[in-house]
Structure 1
Amino acid sequence: MTLRDGGTIGLGLLPDIADADALIVVDAAELHAAPGAVRVFEGAEMDAQVGRSKGSVHEIALSDVMTAAALSGSRPERRALIAIQPEILSWGTEPTGAVAAAIPDACAAIAGLVDKWTR
Protein backbone atom coordinates (compact mmCIF):
# COMPACT_ATOMS: atom_id res chain seq x y z
CA MET A 1 0.00 0.00 0.00
CA THR A 2 1.32 3.44 -0.92
CA LEU A 3 0.07 6.68 0.61
CA ARG A 4 0.57 9.93 -1.27
CA ASP A 5 -0.40 13.50 -0.55
CA GLY A 6 -1.60 14.56 -3.98
CA GLY A 7 -2.45 18.12 -3.00
CA THR A 8 -3.10 20.05 -6.19
CA ILE A 9 -0.39 18.50 -8.39
CA GLY A 10 -3.01 17.13 -10.77
CA LEU A 11 -1.62 15.30 -13.77
CA GLY A 12 1.63 14.66 -11.92
CA LEU A 13 -0.29 11.89 -10.13
CA LEU A 14 -1.02 10.00 -13.36
CA PRO A 15 2.01 7.65 -13.14
CA ASP A 16 1.06 6.73 -9.57
CA ILE A 17 -2.52 6.03 -10.58
CA ALA A 18 -1.44 4.03 -13.64
CA ASP A 19 0.68 1.78 -11.41
CA ALA A 20 -2.06 1.27 -8.80
CA ASP A 21 -4.19 -1.85 -8.45
CA ALA A 22 -6.70 0.21 -6.49
CA LEU A 23 -7.14 3.88 -5.64
CA ILE A 24 -8.71 5.64 -2.66
CA VAL A 25 -8.82 9.43 -2.76
CA VAL A 26 -9.74 11.45 0.33
CA ASP A 27 -10.72 15.04 -0.38
CA ALA A 28 -13.08 17.86 0.36
CA ALA A 29 -16.15 17.93 -1.88
CA GLU A 30 -19.42 19.80 -2.10
CA LEU A 31 -21.94 17.26 -0.84
CA HIS A 32 -24.72 19.73 0.02
CA ALA A 33 -24.51 18.37 3.55
CA ALA A 34 -23.51 19.58 6.99
CA PRO A 35 -19.81 20.43 7.43
CA GLY A 36 -17.89 17.28 8.26
CA ALA A 37 -20.31 14.91 6.53
CA VAL A 38 -18.48 11.95 4.97
CA ARG A 39 -19.62 10.09 1.88
CA VAL A 40 -18.01 7.27 -0.10
CA PHE A 41 -18.27 7.15 -3.89
CA GLU A 42 -17.03 3.97 -5.60
CA GLY A 43 -16.32 3.25 -9.26
CA ALA A 44 -18.73 4.99 -11.60
CA GLU A 45 -20.16 6.98 -8.67
CA MET A 46 -16.68 8.41 -8.09
CA ASP A 47 -16.36 9.26 -11.77
CA ALA A 48 -19.69 11.09 -11.70
CA GLN A 49 -18.84 12.96 -8.48
CA VAL A 50 -15.48 14.26 -9.71
CA GLY A 51 -17.11 15.28 -12.99
CA ARG A 52 -19.65 17.57 -11.30
CA SER A 53 -19.20 21.31 -10.89
CA LYS A 54 -16.09 22.08 -8.90
CA GLY A 55 -16.09 23.60 -5.45
CA SER A 56 -12.34 23.59 -4.81
CA VAL A 57 -9.01 23.49 -6.62
CA HIS A 58 -8.58 19.92 -5.42
CA GLU A 59 -11.69 18.77 -7.28
CA ILE A 60 -10.50 20.38 -10.51
CA ALA A 61 -7.16 18.56 -10.32
CA LEU A 62 -8.84 15.27 -9.44
CA SER A 63 -11.26 15.59 -12.35
CA ASP A 64 -8.39 16.23 -14.77
CA VAL A 65 -6.24 13.34 -13.57
CA MET A 66 -9.12 10.84 -13.50
CA THR A 67 -10.15 11.83 -17.03
CA ALA A 68 -6.57 11.41 -18.23
CA ALA A 69 -6.36 8.00 -16.51
CA ALA A 70 -9.58 6.89 -18.21
CA LEU A 71 -8.43 8.10 -21.62
CA SER A 72 -5.07 6.34 -21.27
CA GLY A 73 -6.68 3.10 -20.08
CA SER A 74 -4.87 3.30 -16.75
CA ARG A 75 -7.78 4.09 -14.41
CA PRO A 76 -7.90 1.45 -11.64
CA GLU A 77 -10.96 -0.80 -11.69
CA ARG A 78 -11.24 -0.46 -7.92
CA ARG A 79 -11.40 3.23 -7.13
CA ALA A 80 -13.19 5.33 -4.56
CA LEU A 81 -13.51 8.88 -3.35
CA ILE A 82 -14.01 9.49 0.34
CA ALA A 83 -15.48 12.96 0.34
CA ILE A 84 -15.76 15.27 3.33
CA GLN A 85 -18.03 18.31 3.24
CA PRO A 86 -15.84 21.33 4.02
CA GLU A 87 -16.92 24.03 6.41
CA ILE A 88 -15.04 26.73 4.49
CA LEU A 89 -13.19 26.75 1.16
CA SER A 90 -10.46 29.28 1.93
CA TRP A 91 -6.80 28.26 2.02
CA GLY A 92 -5.45 26.88 5.26
CA THR A 93 -3.18 24.25 6.75
CA GLU A 94 -5.48 22.88 9.46
CA PRO A 95 -8.96 21.37 9.21
CA THR A 96 -11.87 23.19 10.77
CA GLY A 97 -13.44 21.62 13.86
CA ALA A 98 -16.19 19.90 11.88
CA VAL A 99 -13.74 18.43 9.38
CA ALA A 100 -11.32 17.34 12.11
CA ALA A 101 -14.20 15.56 13.86
CA ALA A 102 -14.92 13.69 10.59
CA ILE A 103 -11.41 12.27 10.23
CA PRO A 104 -12.14 9.09 12.26
CA ASP A 105 -15.18 8.40 10.03
CA ALA A 106 -13.06 8.91 6.91
CA CYS A 107 -10.40 6.55 8.30
CA ALA A 108 -13.08 3.94 9.04
CA ALA A 109 -14.34 4.27 5.46
CA ILE A 110 -10.80 3.72 4.15
CA ALA A 111 -10.36 0.64 6.33
CA GLY A 112 -13.73 -0.69 5.15
CA LEU A 113 -12.79 -0.32 1.49
CA VAL A 114 -9.38 -1.95 1.98
CA ASP A 115 -11.02 -4.84 3.80
CA LYS A 116 -13.69 -5.24 1.13
CA TRP A 117 -11.20 -5.06 -1.74
CA THR A 118 -8.69 -7.48 -0.20
CA ARG A 119 -11.08 -10.30 0.70
Structure 2
Amino acid sequence: MKRYLMKVLPVIILAIICNTGFAQEISEKRLAQMKKTVERMGEVMELDKQEKVEILELKKLSEVKYQEINNTHKKGTEAYKNARKSINRKYQLALKKICSKEQMEAWRQYQNEKKSKKVASIN
Protein backbone atom coordinates (compact mmCIF):
# COMPACT_ATOMS: atom_id res chain seq x y z
CA MET A 1 0.00 0.00 0.00
CA LYS A 2 2.81 2.41 0.90
CA ARG A 3 4.61 1.76 -2.41
CA TYR A 4 1.37 2.35 -4.29
CA LEU A 5 0.88 5.68 -2.48
CA MET A 6 4.44 6.70 -3.30
CA LYS A 7 3.72 6.10 -6.99
CA VAL A 8 0.28 7.72 -7.05
CA LEU A 9 1.00 10.74 -4.84
CA PRO A 10 3.29 12.54 -7.33
CA VAL A 11 0.70 12.07 -10.07
CA ILE A 12 -2.04 13.49 -7.89
CA ILE A 13 0.14 16.48 -7.11
CA LEU A 14 0.92 16.92 -10.81
CA ALA A 15 -2.78 16.71 -11.65
CA ILE A 16 -3.56 19.41 -9.13
CA ILE A 17 -0.77 21.66 -10.36
CA CYS A 18 -1.52 21.34 -14.04
CA ASN A 19 -4.94 21.90 -15.44
CA THR A 20 -6.36 20.74 -18.73
CA GLY A 21 -5.48 24.08 -20.31
CA PHE A 22 -1.87 22.94 -20.61
CA ALA A 23 -2.75 20.27 -23.13
CA GLN A 24 -4.21 22.93 -25.42
CA GLU A 25 -0.84 24.67 -25.70
CA ILE A 26 0.87 21.57 -27.08
CA SER A 27 0.56 21.04 -30.81
CA GLU A 28 -1.19 17.93 -32.08
CA LYS A 29 2.00 16.80 -33.80
CA ARG A 30 4.06 17.14 -30.60
CA LEU A 31 1.35 15.40 -28.56
CA ALA A 32 1.35 12.50 -31.03
CA GLN A 33 5.15 12.25 -30.70
CA MET A 34 4.87 12.17 -26.91
CA LYS A 35 2.21 9.45 -27.05
CA LYS A 36 4.36 7.40 -29.41
CA THR A 37 7.34 7.75 -27.06
CA VAL A 38 5.26 6.72 -24.06
CA GLU A 39 3.98 3.68 -25.95
CA ARG A 40 7.55 2.70 -26.82
CA MET A 41 8.52 3.23 -23.18
CA GLY A 42 5.62 0.99 -22.22
CA GLU A 43 6.92 -1.79 -24.45
CA VAL A 44 10.56 -1.49 -23.39
CA MET A 45 9.93 -0.89 -19.69
CA GLU A 46 6.85 -3.13 -19.42
CA LEU A 47 4.76 -0.31 -17.96
CA ASP A 48 1.19 -0.78 -16.82
CA LYS A 49 -1.60 1.51 -18.02
CA GLN A 50 -1.44 3.79 -14.95
CA GLU A 51 2.31 4.31 -15.33
CA LYS A 52 1.84 5.23 -18.99
CA VAL A 53 -0.79 7.82 -18.06
CA GLU A 54 1.46 9.27 -15.36
CA ILE A 55 4.44 9.52 -17.72
CA LEU A 56 2.36 11.16 -20.45
CA GLU A 57 1.11 13.78 -17.98
CA LEU A 58 4.67 14.35 -16.81
CA LYS A 59 5.81 14.81 -20.41
CA LYS A 60 2.97 17.28 -21.07
CA LEU A 61 3.90 19.33 -18.02
CA SER A 62 7.57 19.38 -19.04
CA GLU A 63 6.68 20.38 -22.61
CA VAL A 64 4.64 23.35 -21.41
CA LYS A 65 7.53 24.46 -19.20
CA TYR A 66 9.94 24.13 -22.14
CA GLN A 67 7.61 26.30 -24.24
CA GLU A 68 7.53 28.94 -21.48
CA ILE A 69 11.33 28.98 -21.39
CA ASN A 70 11.51 29.29 -25.17
CA ASN A 71 9.26 32.35 -24.93
CA THR A 72 10.99 34.01 -21.97
CA HIS A 73 14.69 33.30 -22.58
CA LYS A 74 16.92 33.88 -25.55
CA LYS A 75 18.18 30.57 -26.95
CA GLY A 76 21.80 29.83 -26.22
CA THR A 77 22.04 32.02 -23.14
CA GLU A 78 23.21 30.62 -19.84
CA ALA A 79 19.79 31.28 -18.25
CA TYR A 80 18.10 29.35 -21.07
CA LYS A 81 20.44 26.38 -20.67
CA ASN A 82 20.09 26.34 -16.88
CA ALA A 83 16.30 26.53 -17.05
CA ARG A 84 16.12 23.62 -19.50
CA LYS A 85 18.52 21.57 -17.36
CA SER A 86 16.37 22.25 -14.32
CA ILE A 87 13.23 21.03 -16.08
CA ASN A 88 15.04 17.93 -17.33
CA ARG A 89 16.31 17.13 -13.81
CA LYS A 90 12.81 17.48 -12.37
CA TYR A 91 11.44 15.26 -15.15
CA GLN A 92 14.04 12.58 -14.47
CA LEU A 93 13.38 12.65 -10.71
CA ALA A 94 9.63 12.37 -11.24
CA LEU A 95 10.16 9.55 -13.74
CA LYS A 96 12.25 7.67 -11.17
CA LYS A 97 9.35 7.94 -8.71
CA ILE A 98 6.96 6.44 -11.23
CA CYS A 99 9.21 3.63 -12.51
CA SER A 100 11.36 1.02 -10.81
CA LYS A 101 15.15 0.92 -11.14
CA GLU A 102 14.86 -2.08 -13.44
CA GLN A 103 12.45 -0.24 -15.72
CA MET A 104 14.70 2.81 -15.82
CA GLU A 105 17.72 0.64 -16.64
CA ALA A 106 15.79 -1.08 -19.45
CA TRP A 107 14.93 2.34 -20.94
CA ARG A 108 18.51 3.62 -20.66
CA GLN A 109 19.79 0.45 -22.33
CA TYR A 110 17.23 0.83 -25.14
CA GLN A 111 18.25 4.47 -25.69
CA ASN A 112 21.95 3.57 -25.76
CA GLU A 113 21.32 0.79 -28.30
CA LYS A 114 19.26 3.14 -30.43
CA LYS A 115 22.02 5.77 -30.29
CA SER A 116 24.68 3.18 -31.19
CA LYS A 117 22.69 2.03 -34.23
CA LYS A 118 22.28 5.64 -35.37
CA VAL A 119 26.01 6.35 -35.08
CA ALA A 120 26.85 3.08 -36.86
CA SER A 121 24.53 3.94 -39.74
CA ILE A 122 26.20 7.35 -40.18
CA ASN A 123 29.66 5.79 -40.40
CA radius of gyration, larger in: 2
Relative contact order: is structure 1 or structure 2 higher (C-alpha 8 Å, sep ≥ 6)?
A: 1
- The structure whose residues are more often helix, as a share, is 2
- The structure whose residues are more often strand, as a share, is 1
Per the normalisation by structure 1, the TM-score is: 0.29
